[in-house]
């Protein structure tokens, strides 16, 4: 079994975000970085599958040098090798370009299964996984909450609106995007963290894999405007009550 799991490094979501100088993304200067939550489910599922079927599990991540730290966690969780696509400007790329880079890498590797998170916690487009599958011409199932591999077929559950669940079967090769509830990601153990140091972590410049033009551009990023402050009524209780009743009559439908 030849497996690929794609992960993204994202800021700790409790960080205080600032908009960058260009006004098109957040400032990455002073942030703590983590593995994208949904990618943790993807890594865990990929590792479980590899433990069951044997084979080889590659983790791929696009970004600057610092993403290697997050990749090492995936290696410590059980991935066999890492492919770092070195790109300092990854945050400027749209989902189509990111997917094209991954598909270009994957197209000659004959992966049986590709795991991704259902979306990233920072950009949240939820498109990358599906576009990779389309580019590779393989089936994809999104937002899975359960996964079984048997007899070259995957059987997965998807969570739908209104508490419904759907069961989907697909032959491999296939791609799945992973959702909360799929599994409980393991902690990397101390011995495995130390052993991961010795695993292969290859860097490829993004230029070697990027051969498409962007379909979209993020033109600006901004915090929503704060809503104006409330109205404070002052004066004698009786006057305040009259003012309030007038406001409710004029500006709302509470009083006719």
Partner 1 sequence: MQFKLTDEQKMMQDMARDFAQKEILPTLKEDEREHRFRPELVRKMGDLGFFGCAIPEEYGGNGCGFFESVLLAEQLAKVSGSWRVPLNMQNIGPSVTVNRFGTREQKERFIPAWVKADSFGFFAITEPNSGSDVAGMGTTATDRGDHWELNGQKMWISNAHVGDWGLVYAFTDRSKKYKGMTCFIVNLKDNEGIVTAPIETKLGLHCSPTGEIAFTQARIPKDSVLGEVGQGFKICMWQLNNTRVSCAAGALGIGGGAIEAAINYANERTQFGKKIGSYQMVQAQIADMVAEHEAAKLLVYQAAWLKDQGLPNQHQTSIAKLFASEAAVHAASETMKIFGSYGFSTEFPAERFLRDAQSLRVVEGTSNIQKTIIAGIALGDVENR
Q: Which residues from 194-213 bind partner 1, rule CB under 8 A?
A: 194-197
Looking at the Cβ atoms of 184 and 219, the one nearer to partner 1 is 184
Q: Which residues from 57-76 bind partner 1, rule CB under 8 A?
A: 68-69, 72-73, 76
Query: Could you tell me which stretch among 21-29, 49-57, 140-148, 189-197 binds partner 1 (CB under 8 A)?
Result: 189-197
Strands 153-159 and 140-150: antiparallel
Query: Could you tell me which stretch among 23-31, 148-156, 193-201, 208-216 binds partner 1 (CB under 8 A)?
Result: 193-201
Q: From start to end of 87-190, where are the E strands?
A: 113-117, 140-150, 153-159, 165-171, 174-178
Q: Least CB distance from residue 70 to partner 1, whole Å?
A: 9
Q: Least CB distance from residue 176 to partner 1, whole Å?
A: 25
Q: In whole angstroms, how far apart are CA 1 and each of 30, 50, 54? A: 40, 7, 6
Q: Least CB distance from residue 234 to partner 1, whole Å?
A: 16
Tokens of 175: 């791609």
In sequence order, what are the residues at sequence separation of 6 or more whose Cβ sits closer than 8 angstroms to the Cβ of residue 132?
Answer: 6, 99, 102, 103, 106, 114, 116, 140, 175
Residue of 189, 203, 211, 216 interacting with partner 1 (CB under 8 A)? 189
Bridge partners, 154 (sequence order): 149, 170
Looking at the Cβ atoms of 8 and 93, the one nearer to partner 1 is 8
Determine the 3-state secondary structure of 33 from DSSP: strand
Q: Least CB distance from residue 121 to partner 1, whole Å?
A: 16
The backbone torsions φ and ψ at residue 214, rounded to the nearest 5 degrees and listed phi first, read -65, 145
Q: What binding mask, one character per residue, do residues 17-56 give for partner 1 by CB under 8 A, x or -?
A: -----------------x----------------------
148 neighbors 156 (Cβ within 8 angstroms):
yes
Residue of 191, 228, 230, 238 interacting with partner 1 (CB under 8 A)? 191
Looking at the Cβ atoms of 72 and 93, the one nearer to partner 1 is 72
In sequence order, what are the residues at sequence separation of 6 or more whose Cβ sits closer than 8 angstroms to the Cβ of residue 252?
Answer: none
Q: Which residues from 96-155 bind partner 1, rule CB under 8 A?
A: none
Locate tokens 């079927």: which residue? 53
Looking at the Cβ atoms of 143 and 183, the one nearer to partner 1 is 183
Locate tokens 């006004």: which residue? 23
Binding site for partner 1 (CB under 8 A): 34, 68-69, 72-73, 76, 187-197
């Amino acid at each position: 079994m030849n497996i690929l799991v794609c992960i993204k490094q994202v800021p700790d979501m409790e960080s205080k975000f600032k908009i960058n100088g260009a006004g098109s993304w957040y400032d990455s200067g002073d942030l703590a970085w983590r593995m994208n939550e949904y990618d943790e489910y993807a890594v865990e599922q990929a590792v479980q599958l590899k433990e069951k079927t044997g084979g080889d599990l590659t983790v791929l991540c696009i970004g600057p040098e610092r993403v290697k730290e997050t990749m090492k966690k995936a290696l410590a969780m059980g991935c066999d090798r890492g492919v770092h696509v070195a790109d300092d400007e990854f945050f400027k790329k749209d989902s189509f370009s990111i997917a094209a880079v991954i598909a270009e890498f994957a197209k000659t590797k004959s992966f049986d299964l590709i795991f991704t998170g259902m979306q990233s916690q920072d950009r949240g487009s939820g498109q990358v996984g599906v576009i990779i599958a389309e580019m590779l011409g393989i089936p994809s199932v999104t937002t899975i909450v359960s996964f079984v591999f048997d007899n070259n077929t995957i059987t997965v559950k998807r969570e739908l609106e209104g508490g419904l669940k759907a069961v989907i079967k697909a032959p491999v090769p296939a791609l799945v995007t992973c959702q909360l509830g799929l599994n409980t990601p393991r902690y990397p153990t101390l011995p495995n963290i130390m052993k991961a140091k010795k695993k292969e972590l290859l860097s490829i410049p993004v230029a070697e894999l990027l051969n498409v033009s962007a379909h979209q551009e993020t033109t600006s990023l901004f915090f929503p405007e704060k809503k104006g402050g409330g109205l404070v009524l002052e004066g004698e209780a009786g006057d305040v009550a009259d003012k309030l009743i007038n406001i409710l009559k004029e500006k709302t439908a509470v009083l006719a």
